[in-house]
Amino acid sequence: MKWSWRTFAPLLVWLVIYLVPVPAGLNANQWHYFAVFAAVITGLILESMPVGAVGLIGLTVAGVGGYVEPDPNKSLRWMLGGFSESTVWLIVGAFVFSIGYRKSGLGRRLALLLVRGLGRRTIGLGYAVAFSDLVLAPATPSNTARSGGTIYPIVSNIPRIYGSEPGPTAGKIGTFVMWTAFATTAVTSSLFLTALAPNAAALSIAKKLVNIEVGWSQWFIGFAPLGILLLLLVPLLSYAICRPEIKESPEIVTWSEGELTKMGPPSRHEWIMAVLVLLAMFLWICGSNPNINVPLLGSNFINATTVVFVVISLMLLTGVIAFEDIVAEKSAWEVFFYFTSLLTLSSGLNEIGFIKWVAEGYAKPLAGMSPFVGMILLVSFFFWIHYFFSSITSHAAAVLPVVLAVGSSIPGLSVQTLMLLCVYSLGLMGVISPYATGPAPMYYGSGYIGKGDFWKFGLIFGAIYFAGLLLIVLPWLQTIG
């Protein structure tokens, strides 16, 4: 490992925050834990070392320091708690799905079909990727399953067809294709109530706190003006920001036709993989959707992560993949350690009361402001504080009650509009960081989007999405009442 200023920058951030006097309302333990968290985020942004190592070191420091649990045994259990999180294993499973797509040849065949149909122009591929997510979104409550388990394994095969590999040649077309896929799933997750599991959880919280109910159609109508516009704009925005080197490639269409001819009819493993993918989609849609009842099994009969284990087991039994393939998938295990560490560290901020302190400290002064200013500031706070979270569900559970309580105390402020703006932002905010939502670690670890670029693109798209929320959705909600 080479030592540079990037290596020491996280240590400097930690030291500066550690030495700053503890703010009123916090104790030294809470403030020093935040210093560790800030150092880890700095290390990830600057790529001080492999992301898995940064997260693991930060988690170890927090555990040894006893910041969350002073008892050593309880502290160890806290450190290991993230390794049992279902979302983490869902992400790893999505990587294993990618192996199946790759080894069976199904991923390459589907990618070639997309390229043959829309590959003449790069922007056409972007819209094909966006449309694929849109079709699956209304019936897939897990965006990790949808984007990570279904979209990612297919689109990750597209750049290679154009000679764009992770690393130096990623900018040819790979960065554009992968970022378009990721940025799109953030939009579809907000467009449909059933496209993201935390949406329903947030509505349940809102119903208990302010007695407001929102149906599927009401949800869609309220967000549609922005959601549809963004679906049309995301490929164009990605094209402008990622700047793919390949703009048009008419010869690739002819080439892809020839490659499909060479591949011949689908192989046995391709057929098996296709059946297993359809099985996974069926179980994801029916098994985790409370509105769908499966004959003899009822609703909610299988967890989304359990589906991954079922399909992986069948892939192993049928010979589509070998266990050695799973062990050798470096990207999956790096993301496993990185995301597990970040999930645990960010949840620790909430457990020790740091998030509550930030929320209350920011929100209390708003009580005497005008309804319009109070609305803008509360929604801004709810959206951008997501940098402290790696779970949208925990974000909603920790911050939404505070925001709604403060909003209710401001005379003239529409609590229903405030609530809708907050819950609509849950999907959108997933674009801002490499740990903001389930699929993010996969695209971050793909090698097609530079680590620094991921943070930059996330900030740009996050700002665009947030501006749309205030400039389009807010006036629209006030218009339709």
**Phi then psi for 277, rounded to 5 degrees?**
-65, -45
Do 416 and 195 contact (CB within 8 A), yes or no?
no
Is the per-residue pLDDT at 37 higher than 60?
yes
pLDDT band at 475 (very low <50, low <70, confident <90, very high): very high
Average pLDDT, the chain: 86
Pick from 162, 198, 22: nearest CA to 171: 162
Q: To 10 degrees, the CA torsion angle through 449, 451, 456, 459?
A: 100
Alpha helices in 288-329 (DSSP H): 304-317, 323-327
Residue with tokens 């949840």, as numbered in its chain: 347
Lowest mean pLDDT, pick from 207-216, 406-415, 453-462: 207-216
pLDDT (0 to 100) of residue 1: 57
Angle of helix 451-468 versus helix 415-428 axis, rounded to 10: 150
Could you tell me which residues come within 8 angstroms of residue 426 by beta carbon, excluding any fewer than 6 positions away? 189, 190, 196, 198, 199, 202, 392, 395, 396
CA 405 vs CA 207, 374, 395, 409: distances in Å? 13, 12, 16, 7
pLDDT (0 to 100) of residue 299: 46
- Average pLDDT estimate for 262-273: 91
Could you tell me which residues come within 8 angstroms of residue 340 by beta carbon, excluding any fewer than 6 positions away? 55, 82, 83, 85, 88
Cα(252)–Cα(248) distance, integer angstroms: 9
Is the per-residue pLDDT at 64 higher than 80?
yes
CA 348 vs CA 22, 62, 86: distances in Å? 18, 9, 17
pLDDT band at 388 (very low <50, low <70, confident <90, very high): confident
Cα 4 from chain centroid (whole Å):
30
